[in-house]
Amino acid sequence: MEQPGKPVCQSKVEMVQIIRPEDANPLGIAFGGKVVEWMDMAAAIAATRHARKPSVTASIDSLSFLSPIKIGQFVIIRAAVNYTGQTSMEVGVRIESEDPLSGERQLTTHGYLTFVALDEGGRPTAVPAVIPETAEEKRRYQEARLRREAKLRRREADEG
């Protein structure tokens, strides 16, 4: 039985963290691993909201660190499901730093993670289609579809 689709807005996540000394290296810049942890957490919440089933990280398909995040800065993490396959979901994550005194924001990190929804037995299970509504969501959907097709072609070539 096919599930009804869900709009992107139902999976959106926004989290805010602050970079503390224990989150940073001796230069006062956030550890990449800490940033990836936050990305994975936000993406997991988005995927689980979309599927309404336990969802696990299958892959980090793209990850770009664009600028450093310094101790004391706020970290705004946004995630949403861009595209769905049968059992998988591509989740886009975007991170900005915010100067707490000026409010100035800067894009620091972005990436795409693939999650798989699991049934009660821990096996992959079907997820609802995603329904992009805004122009931005439609653009992200189309780009995600192309990334998925390319990923499947690469997998086929590797197996063949």
Q: Is residue 61 part of a domain?
A: yes
Tell me whether strands 6-7 and 130-131 are parallel, antiparallel or unpaired: parallel
List the domain range (segments joined by +) for residue 82: 6-159
User: What is the pTM for the complete model shown?
Assistant: 0.93
The C-alpha atoms of residue 72 and residue 107 are separated, in whole angstroms, by 16
What value does the CA radius of gyration of the chain take, rounded to a whole number of Å? 17
Residue 52 domain flag: yes
% of the chain exceeding 70 in pLDDT: 98
| 1 part of a folded domain | no
**Residue 87 domain-assigned (yes or no):** yes
Q: State the Cα–Cα distance between residues 66 and 7, nearest whole angstrom.
A: 29
Number of domains composing the chain: 1
Give the model's pLDDT for residue 2.
58
| 42 within some domain | yes
| CATH number of the domain residue 106 falls in | 3.10.129.10
60 domain-assigned: yes
pLDDT for 1 beyond 80: no
Q: Does residue 14 lie in a domain region?
A: yes
- For 51-107, the pLDDT digits (tens) are 999 999 999 999 999 999 999 999 999 999 999 999 999 999 999 999 999 999 999
